[in-house]
Structures are given as C-alpha cells and as structure tokens.
C-alpha cells in the first residue's frame, strides 16, 4: 500500500467548479472517508486520483511520485462503484480473476488461482466460486465487486458509495465486513459517502467537503466534537445538532450569534422551562422533541422516563458549541 497526497487540486466542468484547491493526505493503511452531499466534489476527487479525469491545477502523488502524467492503468489504483459491475455470464471465480488476466499485468495462471482463492477466503465466499454472478444475492455481488479490486493489490482502493444500493440490514452487515477486510489487509482506502453512519463507524479520518472545498479533515471524534463551522457540525450526528440563538442561555462568548447543542449535551432538571411536543420510544432510549421559547429542539433521555406531550421539563446546555454570524466556530 502507499500514502497518497493531493496537492492544491482544482477541477471545473465549464463554469461549474467541482473541486477547488483541495490538499489532503491519505496515510498508508488508513481508511479515509470523503463526506458531503451530492455535488460536493467527492466522486470527482476519486476520478482525479484514478486518472479518469485530469485536474486543471494541482498534483496527485501516489507512493512518493507524481502520477499526474500516468494513465489510469499505470496508476495502480482500484475502484469500486455503486453498481456491481460484474460479468453475468462468468462465474464468481472468473469475475474475480478478470482484472488479473489483463495483458498489462501478465499474471501467471497459478498466481491468479492463488490470489482468487485468498480473496475468496477474506470475503468469506469460497463456496460461491463456481456460481454465476446472476445466482448471487445483492450483498454477495457487492462482495465480488470489492474482491475484483482486492485481487490486484493496488496502491489505494477508491470506493464510490459501494453500499448505497443495498437495503439497510445488508448495508450494516457489509459495513462491518468492509472494515474487517481493510484492517485484515492493512489496505489504504479512500471511501466516498453521504451517509454519516458509514463515515463515523468505518473511518480513521474524515474529510468534509462543501461545494468542492475541503472544509475540515480529521478523526471522526475530532470532527464530531470540534467542528470548524456550522456546516460541519450539521454533517455529523443523529439526531442533528440543535441550533439556537446564542443569547438564549447565559455565558455566550463575545461575537457568538448561535449556539449548537448536540442532543446528548442538553441536561434536564434545571435551567429554562421547555415543553414536550413529541415522545419517540426507541427501545434503548427516548427521543424528546421540545419547544423552548418558540424554538424546536431534540434531546435524548432515559428509556423509562415517564413523559408525555405537554409536560414541562427544565433544560440547560452542557459543552455547547458557539458560532459567529458567518457560521464559523468560536472557541
């Protein structure tokens, strides 16, 4: 595996700026996730790394050397897409072997056999090797798609929302599997998603993108606990962070215009009176929808709390985040 550096990357399509001055490092063996809404520039960055697109400005450095003049085949990267991209007329074994049979690689047949067997074991599908791709479930097909990337042992794996087309249960299962595979192989992986749960649970690092710009880069905990602005604060956390006027509670720093309260950072028992609007029983916890001086907010409470709509509870902030008029964080 290799460390990958993006240096001042920019890319426009006509008048649309897709990526603007992005600089980041994907450490060797790391699981880095690019998080952002549709149009944030996530997929374009993958295409720039793979060589499917050329940047207007900037450089892509893979394994210590610039890859900017290399073709996609020369860059030794592997991509996994949302679609399964399997050959339906081939067996699982032949689908896995297909990348190794490229004339550019000239891989001996005994080496192909060895790599396919190893990858099938890692993916836990050795019993499916003789099945046609059309005989597989959705989860099995996506495993084979991931396996086609794994057999090549590339410098970096690029994954473009590979779990987004699966149902919730299968997505959860494969999320665990993908992280296990990455850790087992020590793979360097750059993963694209708009799903914050995927980003938080699998990543060693997260890069939050907004309109083609990298807004913040760090560990999941760092970004969740110390967002640089309101946009980043709103990208992570479920339920979403509550945003209220900063003067609603005492103690706001100079310049603060808004206060951000994670649901778990609202203490109950003392403080200002709020009204319960809705009570959602989730089994392990209760999600409370409150109204405070005309503002809606959500918090969490004990699963055995005896609360009903219309009840009055007192609340106060704990570890609040403060933001200025432009949405920038105030420490």
Min mean pLDDT across 120-134, 157-171, 186-200, 296-310 is at 157-171
Q: 34 and 85 share a domain?
A: yes
pLDDT value at 165 more than 80: no
The domain boundary residue, chosen from 206, 235, 264:
235
Q: Please give the share of the chain, as a percent, with pLDDT higher than 70.
A: 100
CB neighbourhood size of 180 (10 A) = 12
In the structure, what pLDDT confidence band is assigned to residue 175 with cuts at 50, 70 and 90?
A: confident
pLDDT value at 1 more than 70: no
The domain boundary residue, chosen from 235, 258, 279:
235
Q: 256 and 120 share a domain?
A: no
- How many domains does the chain divide into? 2
Domain span at residue 52 reads 4-235
Q: 116 and 27 share a domain?
A: yes
Q: 212 and 65 share a domain?
A: yes
Q: 303 and 192 share a domain?
A: no
- The pTM for the full model equals 0.88
Check which CATH number belongs to the domain holding 66 and give it. Answer: 3.40.50.300
Q: 176 and 95 share a domain?
A: yes
Check which CATH number belongs to the domain holding 290 and give it. Answer: 2.40.50.140
* Chain segment 90-115, per-residue pLDDT in tens: 999 999 999 888 887 788 999 999 99
């Amino acid at each position: 595996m290799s460390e990958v550096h993006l240096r001042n990357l920019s890319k426009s399509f006509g008048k649309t700026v897709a990526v603007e001055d992005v600089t980041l490092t994907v450490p060797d063996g790391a699981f880095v996730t690019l998080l952002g809404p549709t149009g944030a520039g996530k997929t374009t960055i993958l295409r720039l790394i793979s060589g499917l697109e050329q940047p207007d400005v900037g450089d892509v450095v893979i394994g210590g050397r610039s890859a900017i003049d290399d073709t996609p085949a020369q860059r030794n990267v592997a991509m996994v897409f949302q679609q399964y991209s399997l050959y339906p007329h081939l067996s699982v074994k032949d689908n896995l072997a297909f990348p190794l049979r490229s004339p550019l690689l000239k891989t001996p047949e005994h080496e192909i056999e060895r790599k396919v067997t190893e990858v099938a074991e890692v993916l836990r599908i050795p019993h499916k090797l003789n099945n046609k791709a059309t005989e597989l479930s959705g989860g099995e097909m996506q495993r084979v798609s991931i396996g086609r990337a794994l057999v090549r042992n590339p410098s970096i794996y690029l994954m473009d929302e590979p779990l987004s087309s699966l149902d919730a249960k299968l997505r959860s299962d494969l999320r665990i599997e993908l992280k296990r595979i990455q850790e087992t192989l020590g793979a360097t992986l750059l993963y694209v998603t708009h799903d914050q749960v995927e980003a938080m649970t699998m990543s060693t690092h997260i890069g939050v993108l907004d309109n083609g710009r990298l807004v913040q880069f760090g560990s999941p905990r760092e970004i969740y606990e110390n967002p640089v602005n309101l946009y980043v604060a709103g990208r992570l956390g479920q339920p979403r962070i509550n945003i209220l006027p900063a003067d609603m509670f005492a103690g706001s720093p100079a310049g603060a215009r808004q206060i951000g309260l994670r649901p778990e950072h609202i203490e109950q028992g003392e403080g200002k009176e709020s009204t319960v609007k809705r009570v959602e029983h989730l089994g392990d916890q209760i999600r409370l929808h409150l109204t405070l001086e005309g503002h809606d907010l959500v918090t969490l409470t004990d699963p055995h709390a005896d609360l009903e709509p219309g009840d009055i509870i007192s609340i106060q902030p704990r570890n609040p985040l403060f933001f200025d008029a432009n949405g920038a964080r105030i420490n």
